[in-house]
Amino acid sequence: MFSGKLRSALVIGGQGIRARKLRTFLSMVSLFLGVLAIVAVQAGSEIAERAMLTDVELQAGKDGTMMGYIPGEKGAPAIVESTLKGRADAVAMISSQAVIGEPGVRPINEGGMPFEYAGQRGDYNGSMTFCDASGVCHEQKAPEKKPDGQAIEVNMVALTGDIRRFKPFRPVSGSWLDFATAPSLAPRIVLNEEAAKGLDRYRVPGEMMIEGASHHVSPQIIGVVQDGSSTPRVYLRLDELRTWMPAAAETGSSDIGRFRGGSGGTQLEVYLQPGSADLQQLLKAKLVGAGLSQDQLHFNTVNSKERMESELRILRLIFLGMAFLVLLIGVAGILNVGLATVGERVEEFALRRAVGMSRMLLAGIVLAETLLTGLLTAALAIGAGAAGLQIALAMFGSRFPSLQGTAFPWEAGVAGVIAGLVAGVLGGLIPAVRAARIPIATVMRA
Amino acid sequence: MTQPQVTVAAPLLQLNGITKVLKGQEEPRTILSGVDLTVHSGQSVAILGRSGSGKSTLLSLIGLFDRADGGQYSLHGNDITRLPERRAAALRSAEFGFVFQRFFLLKHLTAAQNVAMALVNGQGWSARRKRRQQVMEALEQVGIAHLAKSRPSRLSGGEQQRVAIARALVRQPRIILADEPTGALDTETGNLVIEVLLNTTKRGCGLVLVTHDHDHARKMGRVLELRDGRFN
């Protein structure tokens, strides 16, 4: 029985739309803009959120990742390396500074700063004071000033495994480090965009000076990635680095008592997959056993999306509110056309009731017409939104790398369909009630 | 020796003391006051009367378009005086066929689609092939099957009224209610339409015809004249 009513409503609704193509089209024009506004706002906010999240993920890591900061002292790098060896669920990043170019000269960007600020550091020749975490400070004589030369200073990041599982670096050119092959004597390095910019701009010799290494290293540059960092960085395999400096991982031992992050300091970051609590406990136990205190070990879970969502929510609500107003104008258009159409079709509706149609079904037919119109409009608006996005990406995608490969978000499609349905119901409800109230005797008096 | 039991079929419809009062902003006006009418299967009844005598009001009460204010209305012996709207709609679909003075054909539909309108009314659902067969049978009954694909604007007045009659017949109703079906037609075409309507009574249909035309009324089995809200 229900099937018969539904089919009747759809068949007659379809006939009504076909019979009044121009009116349906005019209803759709105003509604189209409203639904398109909803689709555009929803798609825009989803894409903006994803783009922002992708940029944040490059630096902070993917959501859910457990991240640990460990001081590079008391043999911590070696402990971390041995604990994580052969494990696919965790990767460590050991950072220190290196210089690429002429040996024995002052790098163009001394301290590893972005090249934009190179040469702006000044020439301070006085002594420097370093303080430890407990507030005890030591004065150190300023290092001997070196002559300026063709060299750049980079942040060298040695990896125990493929970090891209946790930080989705975007390839720019070349390839990424292959951890499955045997270590190479000439370390293979991948540059970030800033480091590549420095090498390209200053044409420095391909020789790398690493503090604590027995010899200067001639690396093989195999690729460039976008890592979200504004400072020059190079990534390489820890085992390839060890070939040249067996004690490289322990370089931090000479820096005890200094604030980490400064020139020459070794930093350790550990990335663990969600659910690796056992590994975290094991690592902590080993490090505490080696002499580090619990307070020095900081582990937290990356939760960028939630933080960003709360920031974006207000903005999204404001834009959705504006889009809803545009949609209401479209609804008013449907309502206007719907009421006019019911006025015109009084005899048809009375006749349909005379031949056995119930009031409810008659109202259902009018609603079915506006719902079909709303859905058709929604489909067109979603199609236009998706096409518009592809055109925009083709035209401007190269300027915004984080938008490359962006697909039309399904959430925007769902929002468009809901907007079309809501507009159909709001625009069709009053005409439907009016149609149902038409007395059948109208046909007798006509 | 027992006598054979004789069963008398219940009349198709029976009105007893039907009254209808129009209540508007002015004084209430009695349109029908105690109308009695019985129609059996295969009978045809013509109702005559001046304009405003209540003919169409009576027809709308019989066709369940409206409710009487008093009296009793039985269909096949069942009291249907106070029927909920949903059941009234189902009965209109199953029992009655309506023919109006204006044909009320939807101009955006073909003749066949106009006839099929009575089948696509939410009272059950039949497959498209079956619907098409029913529609063609109804159009054949009124002699215009060849015009099935024509739109109303391409049909003459007589052809349009025959499409309207086919729409009334397509559900094989038990009662045909015709409200001045020849009012907009010339004499010759009007006679043709009356013939078509009378043919339905041969298959057991009851026919109630409201008309001003005495010649057409005389062709019916019974002629009743409505005056001052009741039959003379």
* DSSP assignment string, B151-192: -GGGS-HHHHHHHHHHHHHTT--SEEEEESTTTTS-HHHHHH
- Rounded mean pLDDT of A52-65? 82
What pTM does this model have? 0.62
Cα B13 to Cα B126: distance, rounded to the nearest angstrom: 28
What's residue A53's pLDDT?
78
ipTM above 0.90, yes or no: no
A77 and A53 belong to one structural domain = no
Chain A nearest C-alpha distance from B116 (Å): 11
Q: What is the mean pLDDT of residues A107-131?
A: 73
Mutation to test the B interface, candidates A358, A360, A445, most B Cβ within 10 Å = A358
Res. A122: pLDDT tops 80: no
* Cβ neighbours of B108 in A, within 8 Å: 15, 18-19
* Confidence grade of residue A185 (pLDDT, cut at 50, 70, 90): confident
Chain B within 8 Å of A7 (Cβ-Cβ)? Answer: yes
- Number of domains, chain A: 2
A86 interfaces chain B, CB cutoff of 8 Å = no
Which residues lie closer than 8 Å to A224 by C-beta, 6 or more apart? A171, A172, A173, A174, A190, A191, A192, A193, A196
Burial class of residue A429, CB neighbours in 10 A (0-12, 13-18, 19+) = middle
B103 vs B162: CA distance, rounded Å:
9
Kindly list the residues from chain B whose CB atom is less than 8 angstroms away from the CB atom of residue A353.
89, 92
CB B179 within 8 A of CB A444: yes
A358 and B100 within 8 Å at the Cβ level: the answer is no
- Test A444 with B65 for CB contact under 8 angstroms: yes
Cβ(A85)–Cβ(A128) under 8 Å?
no
Q: Is A272 helix (H, G, I), strand (E, B) or coil?
A: strand
CA–CA separation, B215 vs B193, rounded Å?
A: 13
Encoded amino acid at B206, one letter: G
**Would an 8 Å CB–CB cutoff place A437 in contact with chain B?**
no
pLDDT tens-digit map of A312-342 = 788 778 888 888 888 888 888 888 888 988 8
User: Is B125 within 8 Å of A8 when comparing Cβ atoms?
Assistant: yes
A158 and A193 part of one domain: yes
Nearby residues of B20 by Cβ (< 8 Å), 6 or more positions away: B30, B31, B32, B54, B57, B58, B61, B66, B68, B69
Q: Is the pLDDT of residue A368 over 50?
A: yes
A110 and A153 part of one domain = yes
Closest CB from A7, A9, A443 relative to B104:
A443
pLDDT score at A127: 64
Task: State how far the Cα of A273 lies from the Cα of A193, in Å rounded to an integer.
Answer: 27
Identity of the residue in B98, B125, B171 whose CB atom sits nearest the CB atom of A354: B98
| Lowest-confidence region among A231-235, A271-275, B184-188 | B184-188
* Res. A277: pLDDT tops 60: yes
* Structure letter (DSSP) for residue A15: H
Please tell me the distance in Å from A13's CA to the nearest CA on chain B: 12
| B117 contacts on A by Cβ (under 8 Å) | 351-352, 355
pLDDT at B1: 44
Domain stop point among A301, A336, A369 = A301
The answer to whether the CB atoms of B122 and A356 lie below 8 A apart is yes
Q: How far is CA A404 from the centre of its chain?
A: 11
> Mean pLDDT over residues A277-300, rounded?
88
- Is pLDDT of A443 > 70? no
CB atoms within 10 A of CB A43: 24
pLDDT for the residue B129? 86
Cα B62 from Cα A250, distance rounded (Å): 103
**What average pLDDT score do residues A134-139 get?**
70
Residues 6+ apart with CB under 8 A from B157: B103, B184, B185, B186, B189
B31, B22 contact by CB (below 8 A)? yes
Check whether residue A84 and residue A202 sit in a common domain. Answer: yes
Nearest CA in chain B to A357: B121
Instruction: Report CA-CA distances (Å) from B125 to A3, A5, B128, B132.
Output: 8, 8, 9, 13
Q: How far apart are the first and last CA of chain A?
A: 32
In A249-303, alpha helices (H): 277-289
Residue boundaries of the structural domains of chain B? 13-231
List the single residue in A with minimal CA-CA distance to B92.
Answer: A356
Flag whether pLDDT at A57 surpasses 70: yes
Distance from the B124 Cα atom to the nearest Cα atom in chain A, whole angstroms: 5
Angle (nearest 5°) at CA A231 between A226 and A236: 60
Q: How would residue A378 be classed by pLDDT, with cut points 50, 70 and 90?
A: very high
B94 vs A356: CB contact, 8 Å cut-off? yes
Q: Please provide the average confidence, as pLDDT, over all residues in chain A.
A: 82
The pLDDT score that the predictor gives to residue B135 is 93
pLDDT on residue A124? 55
User: Which chain A residue's Cα is nearest to B64?
Assistant: A354
- Is a pLDDT exceeding 50 seen at residue A256? no
Looking at residue B223, what is its pLDDT?
A: 94
Give the Cα-Cα-Cα angle B228, B88, A354 (nearest 5 degrees): 75
- Residue B176, beta-bridge partner list: B97, B207
Distance from CA of A390 to the nearest CA of B (A): 40
CA distance A379 to chain B (A): 26
Dump pLDDT digits (tens) for A385-419: 999 888 888 887 777 766 767 788 888 899 899 99
Q: What span, in angstroms and rounded, lies between the C-alpha atoms of A194 and A444?
A: 85
- In the prediction, which pLDDT does A252 show? 44
Q: Would the pLDDT of A115 be above 80? A: yes
User: What are the angstrom distances between the C-alpha of A257 and each of A71, A111, A268, A289, A398?
Assistant: 11, 19, 16, 19, 46
* A441 DSSP assignment: T
pLDDT of B62: 93
Q: Residue A5: which residues within 8 A CB-CB, separation 6 or more?
A: A361, A364, B122
Residues A222, A188: contact at Cβ < 8 Å? yes
* Residues of A whose CB is below 8 A from B121: 8, 352, 355-357, 361
Closest CB to B89: pick one of A348, A353, A441: A353
Q: Residue B208: which of B83, B24, B58, B4 has the closest Cα?
A: B58
Q: Find residues 332-371 of chain A whose CB sits inside 8 Å of chain B.
A: 347-348, 351-361
The predicted pLDDT at position A260 comes to 32
Q: Give A-chain residues touching B57 at CB under 8 angstroms.
A: 444
pLDDT above 50: residue A262? no
Residues of A in contact with B171 (CB under 8 A): 356
CB contact under 8 A, B120 and A11: yes
Q: Give the E-state strand segments of A194-291 in sequence order.
A: 208-210, 220-226, 233-237, 267-272
Range B143-152, long-range pairs (CB < 8 A, 24+ positions) = B143/B196, B144/B111, B147/B111, B148/B110, B148/B111, B148/B112, B149/B110, B149/B111, B149/B112, B150/B110, B150/B111, B151/B107, B151/B108, B151/B109, B151/B110, B151/B111, B152/B103, B152/B105, B152/B106, B152/B107, B152/B109, B152/B111, B152/B114
Low-confidence ranges of chain B (pLDDT < 50): 1-3, 6
pLDDT at A140: 67
Chain A neighbors of B89, CB-CB under 8 A? 353, 356-359
Contact B90 A441 (CB under 8 A): no
Q: Domain check: are A157 and A214 in the same one?
A: yes
With a pLDDT cut of 70, the percent of chain A lying above it is 87
- Same domain? A347 vs A417: yes
Superfamily of domain B13-231: P-loop containing nucleotide triphosphate hydrolases (3.40.50.300)
Q: What separation in angstroms does the CA of B61 have from each of A440, B51, B85?
A: 11, 17, 13
Give the pairing type, strands A151-159 and A188-192: unpaired
The arithmetic mean of pLDDT across residues A246-254, rounded, is 45
Q: Which amino acid is at A322?
A: M
Examine the fold and report which residue of A249, A283, A301 is the final residue of a domain before the chain moves on. Answer: A301
CA distance B87 to B91: 6
- For position A144, what pLDDT does the model report? 66
CB of A106 within 8 A of CB of A145?
Answer: yes
Question: Are B65 and A351 a contacting pair at CB < 8 A?
Answer: no
A208-210 and A90-101 beta bridge pairing = antiparallel
Tell me the per-residue pLDDT of B20-66, one tens digit each, with 9 for 90 and over: 998 876 788 888 998 999 999 999 999 999 888 888 889 999 999 88
Distance in Å, alpha carbon of A357 to nearest chain B alpha carbon: 5
Q: Where are the alpha helices (DSSP H) in A226-276?
A: 238-244
**Cβ pair B122, A5 in contact under 8 A:** yes
Whether A440 has its CB under 8 Å from any CB of chain B: the answer is: yes
For A73-107, how does the pLDDT look when each residue is reduced to its tens digit (9 = 90+)? Answer: 778 888 888 888 888 889 999 888 888 888 888 88
- Return the residue of B nearest to A6 by Cα: B122
Residue A370: CB atoms within 10 Å: 31
Do residue A263 and residue A374 come from a single domain? no
Domain containing residue A155: 66-301
If asked whether residues A386 and A418 sit together in one domain, one would say yes
For B122, the closest of A4, A347, A440 (CB atoms) is A4
**Contact call for residues A420 and A374 (beta carbons, < 8 A):** yes
- Chain B residues with CB within 8 Å of chain A CB: 56-57, 59-60, 63, 65-66, 85-86, 89-90, 92-94, 98, 100, 102, 104, 106, 108-109, 113, 117-118, 120-125, 167, 171, 179
Q: Tell me: pLDDT of A139 over 80.
A: no
For residue B169, give the chain A residue with the closest CA: A355
